[in-house]
Structure 1
């Protein structure tokens, strides 16, 4: 049984990665319903939270059915991170996660996210401050290092464990790689093999099929896997991996009716949480992924992203279902 503090996650948990502009409550709802064992909020700026910025505060929204769920924070100032950890704790998540992995310029170039991989002593001090600021388990998500010359994850894992983190997720790329090339899990495996490491180690990067999940589980010995991009528009990936790990067999892929139904659920929650105008607008990024592989889908996608009411979108989704099911097309 994999545990973070007292949180029981099963024998080999599948985690939903915190993805900016993706991992909001509507998206998390469909992933939870389809097998995600542990989820995180989108990362929240510590400075934004201290300033009481509406966007940052809204990201604290969590719901009972999402549990266990972690609030992920990022920042460059130790005192600010400590203070916002106290604020996040009052939102009553199950754990607090620190982002030391985000590679994008407007985060890393301001000394936050993956930038801390260039200053391990500061990373340790910041983590210790967060651990002391909350009674909740603190976890960390990071990368192998800043670049190929500083792949320091072995040192990072030991030092962060020593000051009290209770789980570590490692993305198998450096910051310089961004999301390019193939994720290298070799060092993730070495972290897990280190006899000094007692906390759960989760691997992240490029897991997009049940076969790959099983292969990496066996090859690198991680305690679980975090899935990001493969879940966008395809929340079924969690249950498909679980079924394959358990039985060695594949679940039937979702039918078009399944895709339409989950897309509608996602849209409905998006509107209820954000209001109709914003909910519809922010849902537009998901349609292509929900219907990936559907022949001649482009005209429907254009109509979906131009539609301005929930009724319009529901009508278009019904058209898609009726047309393609009539032609017995299965994705």
Structure 2
């Protein structure tokens, strides 16, 4: 698979762009554990062109990230073009347009998956961005606004016609948010559309190697994108690759191994933020996902989510190793909800 001139190999694994998740330390951990392609957190076009410091920090890129895209969202065509030009200055490998975010605060402004209600504007915006930048432009979207407007085939054709280099599809409508199951048959229909010749990347519900292979066989997509399944399990990419190569599942990590990896992510977050408390708060979403299925673990999880001092957090992790260190963490029935 290629995006522009970027060779990504066969069935590359993409880390999905996620707000407050795919910041630099998490990207680095996922890259260490087999992710092939990265995205920044999604960036507001309006904030970017106003040079909001927090927004520009999201676009700090590092060689270990590559290949990586900066993803931008917005509803104003001129602002989106200016944002794409500004993003290009940070030298990503490609620019990605967010036509898929279902969050109410974004959709209500006509951005993200809100654009699925105005395909003419979506096509025009994409065309203007492609013309304005020299880097490849990709997009990420959903099947449609709701079950009565499953427009993904038309979206794929329109965006390909104006020059996007690849399309990532989350197999849900905007109305579904993250409920129900992702529809990989709809993604397969786009991949098998004889008019489509750009790479198609499938996204939705990949929570382990066996699910990844099933989705790949069902859809025939060029690449797979993992989102929520990587939170608390950033090594999922290596697990998938090993399964694809050997047909064998890697043994689940022990609690002691998970704690070691969690400490690594935590320390990288502290180094990046240069503020222990901010880094710990940033990590809370990850803490909630790191130890699924352990017996009588609720008290320890609450402590993890309430800690604000590094010394307290390290003590809690020591206690977890002491109580559970020999057990293996079973991700078999983990819900992505």
Report the TM-score when normalising by structure 2. 0.94
Matched, 1:209 2:208: yes
- Give how far 1:99 is off: 0.4
Say which SS state the counterpart of residue 99 (structure 1) adopts.
strand
Q: Name 1:249's counterpart in structure 2.
A: 248
Matches of 1:213 and 1:308, distance apart in 2: 36
In the alignment, structure 2 segments of 5+ residues that lack a partner are 330-337
In the alignment, structure 1 segments of 5+ residues that lack a partner are none
Q: Name 1:260's counterpart in structure 2.
A: 259
Matches of 1:252 and 1:10, distance apart in 2: 26
Say whether the 8 Å CA contact 1:172–1:204 is kept in structure 2. yes
Q: Name 1:306's counterpart in structure 2.
A: 306
Matched, 1:237 2:236: yes
Matches of 1:228 and 1:260, distance apart in 2: 21
Q: Name 2:159's counterpart in structure 1.
A: 160
Matched, 1:330 2:328: yes
For 1:186-228, what per-residue CA distance to the aligned partner results, in whole angstroms no more than 9, with x for missing partners? Answer: 2211111112211110111111121121122112110111111
Q: Name 2:197's counterpart in structure 1.
A: 198
Deviating more after overlay: 302-311 vs 268-277: 302-311
Say whether the 8 Å CA contact 2:68–2:94 is kept in structure 1. yes
Matches of 1:194 and 1:131, distance apart in 2: 23
Instruction: Output the aligned Cα RMSD.
Output: 1.3
- Give how far 1:257 is off: 2.1
Q: Name 1:270's counterpart in structure 2.
A: 269
Say which SS state the counterpart of residue 266 (structure 1) adopts.
helix
Say which SS state the counterpart of residue 226 (structure 1) adopts.
strand
- Give how far 1:296 is off: 2.3
Say whether the 8 Å CA contact 1:201–1:222 is kept in structure 2. yes
Residues 3-18 of structure 1 correspond to what in structure 2 (within 5 A)?
3-18=2-17
Matched, 1:114 2:113: yes
Say whether the 8 Å CA contact 2:27–2:65 is kept in structure 1. yes
Q: Name 1:44's counterpart in structure 2.
A: 43
Matches of 1:154 and 1:301, distance apart in 2: 43
Matched, 1:321 2:321: yes
Matched, 1:27 2:19: no
For 1:130-185, what per-residue CA distance to the aligned partner results, in whole angstroms no more than 9, with x for missing partners? Answer: 11221111100000111112111111111111111000000111111111111111
Matches of 2:197 and 2:328, distance apart in 1: 46
Matches of 1:67 and 1:114, distance apart in 2: 27
Say whether the 8 Å CA contact 2:254–2:327 is kept in structure 1. no
- Give how far 1:295 is off: 2.0
- Give how far 1:63 is off: 1.2
Matches of 1:285 and 1:124, distance apart in 2: 35
Matched, 1:125 2:104: no
Say which SS state the counterpart of residue 98 (structure 2) adopts.
strand
- Give how far 1:318 is off: 2.3
Deviating more after overlay: 248-257 vs 39-48: 248-257
Matches of 2:285 and 2:191, distance apart in 1: 36
Report the TM-score when normalising by structure 1. 0.96
- Give how far 1:310 is off: 2.2
Matches of 2:328 and 2:193, distance apart in 1: 46
Aligned length: 328
Say which SS state the counterpart of residue 289 (structure 1) adopts.
coil
Matches of 2:106 and 2:306, distance apart in 1: 32
Matched, 1:222 2:246: no
Say whether the 8 Å CA contact 2:288–2:305 is kept in structure 1. no
Deviating more after overlay: 243-252 vs 302-311: 302-311
- The list of structure 1 runs, each at least 4 consecutive aligned residues, that deviate by more than 3 angstroms after superposition, is none
Matches of 1:330 and 1:178, distance apart in 2: 32
Say whether the 8 Å CA contact 2:14–2:36 is kept in structure 1. yes
Q: Name 2:283's counterpart in structure 1.
A: 283
